Amino acid sequence: MSYQVIARKYRPQVFADVVGQGLITGTLSNAILAGRVAHGYIFSGARGVGKTTTARVLAKALNCVHGPTAAPCGECPSCQEIAAGNSIDVLEIDAASNRGIDEIRELRETVRYLPARDRYKIFIIDEAHMLTTEAFNALLKTLEEPPPRSLFILATTEAHKLPSTIQSRCQHFSFRLLDYEEIFARLQWVCAQENVKADEGALSAVTQAAEGSMRDGLSLLDQVIASCGEQLEEARVRQVLGVVPSQLLNGVLEAIHAGDARRVLELLGELAAEGYELGNFCAELTRTVRNLMVARSCGAESSLVQVASQERARLAELAQLFGEEDLARFFNLLLRAESEMRYSLQPRFHLELALMKLVHARRLASLEALLAQLGQTGAAVKPMGAGPKNQPDPDPLRPLRKAAVADNFSSEDGPGPARSAPPEAPAPPRDNLAPAVSPRPMAPAVSTAETRATAKTAPAAGGPAAASALNTSSSGAPETPVTTGSVLGAEGQSGQPGAPETPDEDAALSNIKALLFNQSKRLLSSCLEHVTGFRVENGAVHFTFKQNDSFYADMLKAREQQ
């Protein structure tokens, strides 16, 4: 008994059946009809998107007894032999295993003979980028001026590895990755041919796992049919594919929205305990966040959102929980985590760290908004520490800004509203916002407000402060528990231990924050938002956190030890 896998069984036999590559198949059809077929082609693109398939259809189109035609009959001996891969005049060469100069010399010999039966002698060189430099050089002359009635098709997943001398002798077609809808529809069609009943969620899971490759989609379909029989249900299919249930993904996103770090870590622990591959989970979370980001920008109905139609409503709801900025930041963090996990001995730790960053990313954003508020007053920017001491405060708005700062910080203590909710203070005009959120604006934005006091306590930017600022409380536990208030909100309590003693120290703390921002230590800075006080001892700055914020002290300490 010989079983032919679905991907081979349903290989398109005419140009019209090749999904999603209309531009290429259209051009080739026109070239055939106009008698302008080139003697060398490069077909490049990701795995399983139709390169070999199109090469074979082109070969059939040229050699069909009824041709050359854009619609080969598929029945004549030439068509049938080409489809089966055993035509005497269409030679498929695997360059991965025939990569040397000897094989190419042999090929050059073969080219010199006319086709045995058909119109053209066609060489399909698969994985062409694997040829050695000598082999490419040996091919150059033949590719430049091949004998009449011969044609070369070089298929490769890595076109950039082909020498430019080869590229310039061929017409180059780039095959694109296929869209969600294109793969989904093809899978549906194949299921109908195979009398398999599949629910939408099941096919959606397979389509997403295919990641744009039709062959991957069809191979996975084969796998789930082998496992589930002729009735495909979403839950079972996800299990077979090792794809995380969508409720779990949604659960993680909801916990991130709620700022519930504990819940996020627990969910991750459950996944690991159930044997899910964490790399897969990260990839899926990334895909979901990408879909949320697109849904937020283009609407959940957009075809760019790659999910089944039944999932769109849920996706739209989730998208409303986050701001566009948040989602873009999440996307960035997860993409980075995904690639880090690939090369790490401790992929789980990377994922946990990334998820913690997502949980805290909203707080980081609020600090940016805060700095934007400070920046929008338009006060003259002075270099740090340049202001003369003991002069009257030149900024009449200073008390107002302090109040805004205190509001902003104290709002972080509670669960906090979703970022998508309108901010309490009106958003600053764009022009004013720009300097405060661009890569290096933080120090001026803060120093504008706090210049007066910096010279006394805060070390100058780039000076020893950089080292001492990182010297956090060595115990990891909060130095002096402070029950209420926050860094700037506690300004009035100057007698309290651990709280900033004077406006100078208050300003110094702000400067340390600004310094860290300048060094792009965004994570550190988000930890510093939770600082309630500090003290300088033996040239080191010790930060104080509230008891239940000891997590941030640990993060700082870990960073310092790196």
Ligand X SMILES: Nc1ncnc2c1ncn2[C@@H]1O[C@H](COP(=O)(O)OP(=O)(O)OP(=O)(O)O)[C@@H](O)[C@H]1O
Name which of residues 298 to 327 contact ligand X (CB under 6 A).
none
Instruction: Give 51 or 419: the residue with its C-beta nearer to Mg ion.
Output: 51
Q: Which does 150 bind (CB under 5 to 8 A by kind): Mg ion, Zn ion, ligand X, none?
A: none
SS3 string, 452-499, reads HHHHHHCCCCCCCHHHHHCCCCCCCCCCCCCCCCCCCHHHHCCCCCCC
Question: Which three-class secondary structure state does DSSP give residue 309?
Answer: helix
Q: Which residue has the tokens 């003697």?
A: 39
Tell me the CB-side half-sphere exposure of residue 245, using CA atoms within 13 A. 13
Among 14, 49, 203, 449, binds ligand X (CB under 6 A): 49
Asked if 482 contacts 496 with a C-beta cutoff of 8 angstroms, the reply is yes
Classify strands 90-94 and 150-156 as parallel, antiparallel or unpaired: unpaired
Part in contact with Zn ion (CB under 5 A); list of ranges 71-79, 102-110, 144-152, 241-249? 71-79
Question: Which three-class secondary structure state does DSSP give residue 504?
Answer: helix
Part in contact with ligand X (CB under 6 A); list of ranges 5-13, 328-336, 443-451, 533-541? 5-13
* By the rule CB under 6 A, 223 interacts with ligand X: no
Instruction: Write down the least CB distance from residue 274 to Mg ion, Å.
Output: 36
CB burial string 448-465: b at 16+ within 10 A, e below: bbbbbbbbebbbebeeeb
Q: 34 to each of 27, 29, 30, 536, how far by Cα in Å? A: 10, 9, 6, 82
Residue ranges binding Mg ion (CB under 5 A): 51-52
**Range list of β-strands (E), 289-430:** none
Instruction: Give 214 or 264: the residue with its C-beta nearer to ligand X.
Output: 214
Structure token pair of residue 26: 């259209």
CA–CA distance, 510 with 27 (Å, rounded to integer):
63
Contact code string over 156-185 relative to ligand X, x by CB under 6 A: -x----------------------------
What single DSSP character describes residue 414? S
* By the rule CB under 5 A, 177 interacts with Zn ion: no
Instruction: Write down the least CB distance from residue 88 to Mg ion, Å.
Output: 21
Classify strands 540-545 and 531-537 as parallel, antiparallel or unpaired: antiparallel
* By the rule CB under 6 A, 25 interacts with ligand X: no
Instruction: Write down the least CB distance from residue 13 to ligand X, Å.
Output: 10
* By the rule CB under 5 A, 64 interacts with Zn ion: yes
Q: Is the peptide bond before 68 cis (omega within 30 degrees of 0)?
A: yes
Part in contact with ligand X (CB under 6 A); list of ranges 44-52, 139-147, 287-295, 333-341? 44-52
Among 122, 214, 469, 488, binds ligand X (CB under 6 A): 214
Among 46, 76, 143, 381, binds Zn ion (CB under 5 A): 76
Q: Which does 64 bind (CB under 5 to 8 A by kind): Mg ion, ligand X, Zn ion, none?
A: Zn ion
* By the rule CB under 6 A, 50 interacts with ligand X: yes
* By the rule CB under 6 A, 11 interacts with ligand X: yes
Q: Give contact residues for Zn ion (rule: CB under 5 A).
A: 64, 72-73, 76, 79
Q: Give contact residues for ligand X (rule: CB under 6 A).
A: 7-8, 10-12, 18-21, 47-53, 155, 157, 186, 214-215, 218
